[in-house]
Amino acid sequence: MTVPSLSVATAIERNREDGRGTLIGYLPVGFPDLGTSIDAAVALAENGVDALELGLPYSDPVMDGLAIQKATAAALEAGFRTRDVFTAVEAVRARVDVPVLVMTYWNPVLQYGVERFADDLKNAGGAGLITPDITPDSGADWIAASERTGLDRVFLAAPSSTDERLKMTVEASRGFTYAVSTMGITGARAQVDAAARTLVGRLREAGSGNVCVGIGISTADQVAEVNAYADGAIVGAALVTALAEGGVSGVAAKAADLASGTTAVRK
């Protein structure tokens, strides 16, 4: 039987008490195949990643950059099905004790059934969902399902959001609020947008206890930079590229390098 998942908020708090930052790592389920994607996710956890974000491949990934688009397209071509994400979560949770969130566009959840999706994720040991393309005011069904099951719900906040919308996002989120560091699609960038620091400050003012920053983070120095003012750094494209180019051992090495940034002195 799968061990109930550690919540992301608990993991963040433990790291905060230890004086270190938090690293959340993203990989798509089913790339390059289901078994390897599970092994790769486990490798992240075994090499310093504090929480996992497993992506559910989708045919229209409007927010994802080229590296993630290629990986998810390959997973779909290899026969990925929505139910595979629950298989992956359960398999990962049986091997490592870290929170496992699922990042998914909303249409696959609707097609699967919101209540059924929530139940199957909970039963697999998942911690909750990151939902990039729905907002709190359009997510009533998911908010109700997550209240019933106790799953985390992570909504995204952008630099362009009004103060009113940021407050709504903070109040609806559970686990952490996802601060989008730049406007546009995901992908590694040479410099994390300075707008991220301002956005985190605005989210703090709106009442958020945990804010994690994603989109564009690809180095240990950037992980340290983000963790100096936020509660966690989220890395996706850099890990997907490492897996594509170097397999499980390659992504394990990249995770260990990124994780070195979480031990930098907190400012």
Catalytic positions, please?
53, 64
Instruction: Report the C-alpha dihedral over residues 111, 136, 179, 91, rounded to 10 degrees.
Output: -40
**Interacting residues of 206 by C-beta distance below 8 A, sequence separation 6+:** 163, 166, 167, 169, 170
Asked if 158 and 130 count as a contact pair (C-beta separation under 8 A), the reply is no
CA distance 90 to 122: 10
What is the β-pairing status of strands 156-157 and 152-154?
A: unpaired
**Interacting residues of 252 by C-beta distance below 8 A, sequence separation 6+:** 43, 44, 46, 47
Consecutive H or E run containing 203: helix 195-205
At 81, give phi and psi (nearest 5°).
-125, 150
Asked if 11 and 225 count as a contact pair (C-beta separation under 8 A), the reply is no
Q: What is the CA radius of gyration of the chain?
A: 17
